[in-house]
Amino acid sequence: MNLTTPNAFVGRVAVVTGAGSGIGMAIARALAEGGAIVYLVGRRQPSLETLRAEIVGAGHHAEVCACDLSHDDDIHSLRNRLGTEHGRVDILVHSAGTISLGAIESAPIGDFDKQYGINVRAPYLLTQALLPLVKLTQGEIVFINSSAGMHTKEQIGAYAASKHALRAVADTLRMEVNAFGVRVLSVYPGNTATAMQDAIQDYAGKRLENQYLLQPEDIASVVTHTLLLPRTAEVTDIQLRPFRKAPA
C-alpha cells in the first residue's frame, strides 16, 4: 500500500532502526515507496532481507544493516558505512525498542538495564554518531516513543521510565539542533498491532481485537506526511490512539 506521494523522498537517504518488524518496517516501506534509499537496521537479518527483497522487487532502493544497537561497535560501523557510501543522512528514524513487564518491587534490575540500553542509550549514541551527517542535509530525526512516554501505569515502570527519558533526549536535541536546520519529531502511539503488543497482551492474559488497535501503517502514514511539511513548520510531538475503544 503506497502511503506517500510517489518520488516525494527521491534523493534522500533514510536510516530506520527496528525495520525488521512492526512500526519500523512500515515506516521503512513507506519511505522506500516515496523514493528514498532506505537503510534497514535491525538484529534479525532474515526479516530485513525479506523486506529488502520486497522493496527492491517493487523498483525501490533499500540496504540491509544487520546490527545489534546494544553494541557500540555496531553503531560506529553503521556510521562509517553511511559516511563511505553516501556521506549524508536525510532522515533518521529511531523505532527499535524492547519491553519487559513487572512490578517495580519484583522486576529484575537486568530488565531495567536492558530497556534503558535499547530504548534510551542506543538512540542517544546512534544520534551522536550520525548527527554530523544529518546536519549536512538539514535533515530530520524521528523518535518513535510510546503512550507510556506521556503517561505510565502499573507493571510498566521500567519501560515507562525509559520512554520518559527518550522524550527528554528528543526535546533537548531539538533545542540543540534547530539552529542547524534539523527538525526533531517524537511520536507517541497507543496500542498498536505489533509483536510487542502481543507480548503485552499475553502478559495481561487478555487479547484485544485488531479493530481496537492502531496499525503500523497508521504511524508510518503520519510520519511520512509530517516529514513532507514545508520547512516553515516543525511538528514536535504527535500522540495517536486507536479510534475505536475496546469494551471494558
Model pLDDT for residues 7-30, shown as the tens digit of each residue: 899 999 999 999 999 999 999 999
Nearest-5° Cα angle at 227, 222 to 228 = 100
Query: For all residues of the chain together, what is the average pLDDT?
Result: 93
Reading the block at residue 173, the C-alpha cell is 536535541
The pLDDT value recorded for residue 192 is: 83
**Cβ atoms of 94 and 69 closer than 8 Å:** no
Asked if residue 3 belongs to a domain, the reply is no
**Band of residue 187 on the pLDDT scale cut at 50, 70, 90:** very high
Domain extent, residue 190, equals 13-240
CA-based nearest residue to 69, from 133, 104, 24: 24
Angle of helix 216-227 relative to helix 22-33, nearest 10 degrees, comes to: 40
Asked if residue 248 belongs to a domain, the reply is no
Asked if residue 177 belongs to a domain, the reply is yes
Q: Is 223 left (phi over 0), alpha (psi -120 to 50) or beta?
A: alpha
Higher local confidence (pLDDT), 140 or 194: 140
- 189: three-class secondary structure by DSSP: strand
Sheet of 61-66: strands edge to edge?
Answer: 61-66, 37-42, 13-17, 91-94, 140-144, 183-189, 237-240
- Kindly tell me if the per-residue pLDDT of 199 is higher than 70: no
Residue 159 annotated among the catalytic residues of the structure: yes
Asked if residue 181 belongs to a domain, the reply is yes
Number of domains in the chain: 1
Asked if residue 154 belongs to a domain, the reply is yes
Asked if residue 207 belongs to a domain, the reply is yes
The pLDDT value recorded for residue 198 is: 66
Asked if residue 62 belongs to a domain, the reply is yes
Model pLDDT for residues 36-78, shown as the tens digit of each residue: 999 999 999 999 999 999 999 999 999 999 999 999 999 999 9
CATH number for position 211? 3.40.50.720
Q: Of residues 39, 159, 188, 212, which has the active-site annotation?
A: 159
Model pLDDT for residues 117-137, shown as the tens digit of each residue: 999 999 999 999 999 999 999
Model pLDDT for residues 81-116, shown as the tens digit of each residue: 999 999 999 999 999 999 999 999 999 999 999 999
122, containing H or E segment: helix 122-136
- Kindly tell me if the per-residue pLDDT of 1 is higher than 60: no
Query: Can you tell me the distance from the alpha carbon of 145 to that of 147, in angstroms, rounded to the nearest whole number?
Result: 7
What percent of the chain is modeled with pLDDT above 90? 83
Asked if residue 6 belongs to a domain, the reply is no
The pLDDT value recorded for residue 194 is: 72
Residue with cell 534509499: 37
The pLDDT value recorded for residue 102 is: 92
